[in-house]
Amino acid sequence: RIVLLRLGHRPERDKRITTHVGLTARMLGAEGMLLASDDSGIVQSLEDVVRRWGGNFYIKNNVSFKQEIRNWKEGGGKVCHLSMYGVNLPDLADELKKCDKLMIVVGAEKVPPEIYQLADWNVAVGSQPHSEVAAVAITMDRIAEGEPLEKEFPGAELTIVPAERGKHVIENAGE
């Protein structure tokens, strides 16, 4: 079980990247995304993707990150904050893999400093600055059980059939 917590989203400039963080986490098997800002537009666009492309990914708007972290830990979950200042992922991947309830936290511009204390692990995806989308993708891929790119999304209106050329999409009849 993996849930993603997105900190610091600024509605006026982060819409696209936060949407991409959510889409990437969903594609790689997260159960949902918690948004520690108020932006119902993000919720709508991700829910629209879920409706068309299947699965049960959820989005929770405007959460208190401290409350969510506390609840998660009380339920036995662990928290992994992605930061270029942390311990490099190759040194922690085996430990993270063993964890069956993991919250992955990513920031936008600057994260609240207490997140470094609240997290069980501060994990660097290489010690160079890059993107929260890349950090989520590489982490989830490195700690996945099995092949995350072959995950299926039940209940989809649209399903792609991989093709060597062109686009092959099946439109599934609604219930």
Closer CB to ligand SAM, 97 or 130, in the complex:
130
126 sits near ligand SAM (criterion: CB under 6 A): yes
DSSP, residue by residue, 23-52: HHHHHTT-SEEEESS--HHHHHHHHHHHHH
**3-class state of residue 129 by DSSP:** coil
Q: Which listed residue (4, 49, 92, 124) binds ligand SAM by CB under 6 A?
A: 124
- DSSP class of 154: T
Q: Which listed residue (74, 98, 110, 175) binds ligand SAM by CB under 6 A?
A: 110
**3-class state of residue 65 by DSSP:** helix
Minimum CB–partner distance for residue 121 and ligand SAM (Å): 11
54 sits near ligand SAM (criterion: CB under 6 A): no
Site string for ligand SAM, 78-97 (x = CB under 6 A): ----xxx-------------
CB neighbour list of residue 158: distance below 8 Å, 6 or more residues apart:
52, 53, 169, 170, 171, 172
Phi, psi of 152 (to 5 degrees): -105, 150
Closer CB to ligand SAM, 27 or 105, in the complex:
105
Q: Angle at the Cα of 136 (from 135 to 142), degrees rounded to 5?
A: 90
Closer CB to ligand SAM, 117 or 128, in the complex:
128
111 sits near ligand SAM (criterion: CB under 6 A): yes
Which residues sit at the interface with ligand SAM, rule CB under 6 A? Answer: 82-84, 106-111, 124-126, 128-132, 135
